[in-house]
Amino acid sequence: MPRASLLIEFLLLFVALPLGYRFSPRPLPAIPILWLAALYCYWQLRRDPTFTTALLWNPQPLPAQLSSILTLFLIGAALLALAVRLFFPHLLFSFVRSHPVFWAAVMILYPVLSVYPQSIIYRAFLMHRYATLLPSQTALILLSAAAFAFMHLIFRNPLAVTLTFFGGLLFAWRYAATGSLLTSSLEHALYGCWLFTIGLGQYFYHGRIQLK
% of the chain residues with pLDDT over 70:
98
Of the listed ranges 39-43, 188-192, 193-197, 201-205, the least confidently predicted one is 201-205
CA gap 102, 82 in Å, rounded: 24
- pLDDT at position 212 over 80: no
Residue 208 is predicted with a pLDDT of: 56
pLDDT tens figures, 72-104:
999 999 999 999 999 999 999 999 999 999 999
pLDDT tens figures, 117-153:
999 999 999 999 999 999 999 999 999 999 999 999 9
- pLDDT at position 207 over 90: no
CA gap 138, 117 in Å, rounded: 23
What is the mean predicted confidence (pLDDT) over 51-77? 98
Burial track 29-65 (b if 16+ CB lie within 10 A, e otherwise): ebeeebbebbeebbeebeeeeebeeebbebeebbeeb
pLDDT band at 53 (very low <50, low <70, confident <90, very high): very high
- pLDDT at position 182 over 60: yes
Q: CB–CB of 53/162 below 8 Å?
A: no
- pLDDT at position 178 over 90: yes
Q: What is the mean pLDDT of the chain?
A: 96
Residue 161 is predicted with a pLDDT of: 98
Helix H or strand E segment including 99: none
